[in-house]
Amino acid sequence: MKLSSRYEQTSCRLVIEGLPDLSAGQTSQTIGILTGFTLALAGKTEMEGKREHLQALMQAVIPYARQLLSGLARPCGADDQPVAIRPLAQGHQLELRSSQPDTPPLALQLDDAELADLVRCLDRVQLDPNLAVPLEVPAPQPLRRSELRHRLPLTRRLAAPVAGVAALLVSAALVALLPTPKPQTGSGVAATAPVRSR
């Protein structure tokens, strides 16, 4: 019995089709074998693909969205992968490459709302308990210090060093203002130690 799961947002509809894997002890309502999917974005060409294409879509789009949330806009998806996404001056370009020779890649331009809808659909795919197909997504990686540096304004980056130098100068000025202790002078009376008689 063929099953389908539908994930919809305002501008995105993702439908996954498959079969239950009864040999793995799954219920008849669980998709354990993914046979294909269709992705429709509002006003754009509907796309179809197999499990490896859905896997590549998730491995490109989800890390790309994570980077955008961190303030980084850099492409995801290598040249030899079926899906890649990169930032544009306004929006994002999703590129789907066919495995058929002499077939040019399909390039779709997405605005921020369309990208957010696509990410929500892919998130729902990951969280769906009725979809038992392992679709791996790269684990989140911490940003390097050099990648975080550009997010802080120059004034905030310079605030700590300038405050440190100012504190050093103020403490040096305060130390310079302290009066130096005067040497103690004798009172004219010589202290004599008692002499013990033998």
pLDDT at 197 > cutoff 90: no
- The b/e string for 77-111 (b: 16+ C-beta within 10 A; e otherwise) is beeebbbbbbeeeeebebbbbeeeeeeeeeebebe
Burial of 123 per CB tally in 10 Å (0-12, 13-18, 19+): middle
Question: What is the CB-side half-sphere exposure of residue 91 using CA atoms within 13 A?
Answer: 10
Query: For residues 173 and 183, what is the distance between their CA atoms, to the nearest angstrom?
Result: 23
Share of the chain above pLDDT 70, in %: 83
| Helix pair angle (51-69, 112-127), 10° resolution | 120
pTM of the predicted model as reported, rounded to 2 decimal places: 0.70
- State pLDDT tens for residues 126-177: 999 999 888 888 776 666 665 555 555 667 666 777 788 888 888 888 877 7
- CA quadruple 99, 7, 75, 87: dihedral, nearest 10: 120
In sign, the C-alpha dihedral spanning 12, 18, 24, 27 is positive
Q: Is the pLDDT of residue 25 over 70?
A: yes
- Is the pLDDT reported for residue 52 higher than 80? yes
User: How are beta strands 83-87 and 3-8 bridged, if at all?
Assistant: unpaired
pLDDT of residue 148: 58
Find out whether 103 and 119 touch, Cβ atoms under 8 Å: no
Predicted local distance difference test score (pLDDT) of residue 116: 94
8 A C-beta contact, residue 75 and residue 85 = yes
Mean pLDDT for 66-79 is 84
Q: Which domains does the chain have, with CATH numbers?
A: 3-132 (2.30.31)
Calculate the alpha carbon distances from 20 to 3, 40, 136, 149, 171 in Å.
8, 24, 19, 49, 74
Per the model's pLDDT, the better-predicted residue between 29 and 176 turns out to be 29
Please, what is the Cα angle at 37 between 33 and 38, to 5 degrees?
170
Gap between the Cα atoms of 187 and 89, Å rounded: 86
pLDDT at 58 over 90: yes
Residue 15 has pLDDT above 90, yes or no: yes
Look up tokens 């130098």; give the residue: 165
